[in-house]
Structure 1
């Protein structure tokens, strides 16, 4: 569900949605999530709301585009997982390097992807955007309100 669209950001929410992987595998999300896509940013955040806190999964990818209500971006495999205590881990570096070689990523794309991973870490430390205290909770309440109306 789209919660907010502006010149700078798109914020959405989902719960129990079907995900189809590139290899055809399908699965359903297990918890509600608030998704944030900043215009021009090389990352997006998925804040998963669990009983023991908010976990963030940050996809490093090209800036998104929207056409005919479809949001699209290139996922470059590199991810940052952020835990409720704001500690984090960089995931899939090997996969990014392998795909970079196989698909011959241009040097400027590799540089942008690495810069985006650093930017996510800076945002975590600065508590910016989706990492700001109360951000996820506020948008989750909005999601619940809109969901109850439909």
Structure 2
């Protein structure tokens, strides 16, 4: 089954050992093609592997790629667009959910473009515990390098105009949905 635009989708993130890491109950699909899936979460229920549940505070435009070792969550806040990038396996849609494997390393990007690499200790610990191969480690770090280049060059999705346009499109879709 192919993912369609203007439908809701379940999002699942796993760990390397196959255990469920985090799920998002609902993402609204704005774009679904061979290059990427763009889904919006807004006041969405998130379930953590430890049983905690919480609801997202702000709208976020999420980018999932079938050929990149990262995904990007663009949070729309009063202070501007904040980017949270997860180093993860390429994402797939299998008819049930958008799925990927989270590899711990994260990069935060502020609205001004300042970047911060997070969770290096968690990555090292899980690499040992779950026996990440050298090839996997290389793929993840190559993904990190590519991500940092995309951030520096403000390639999609690190360009505020694109995010604002997608958010406006989402709001228009929600208005239409209300009227139906």
Q: Calculate the TM-score normalised by the size of structure 1.
A: 0.97
2:75 to 25, 48, 64: 48
CA contact (8 A) 2:81 2:160 kept: no
- The aligned residue for residue 39 of structure 1 is 66
2:87 to 41, 60, 69: 60
Give the RMSD, CA atoms, in angstroms: 0.9
Structure 2 residue runs of 5 or longer lacking an equivalent are 1-27
- The aligned residue for residue 109 of structure 2 is 82
Distance 2:116 2:143 in 1: 14
The superposition leaves residues 122-141 of structure 1 with CA deviations (integer Å, 9 ceiling, x where unpaired) of 11110101102301101101
1:110 aligns with 2:143: no
1:23 aligns with 2:50: yes
Residue 113 of structure 2 aligns to a residue in which SS?
A: coil
Q: How many residues are aligned here? A: 150
Distance 2:64 2:156 in 1: 10
Structure 1 residue runs of 5 or longer lacking an equivalent are none
Residue 110 of structure 1 aligns to a residue in which SS?
A: helix
- The aligned residue for residue 173 of structure 2 is 146
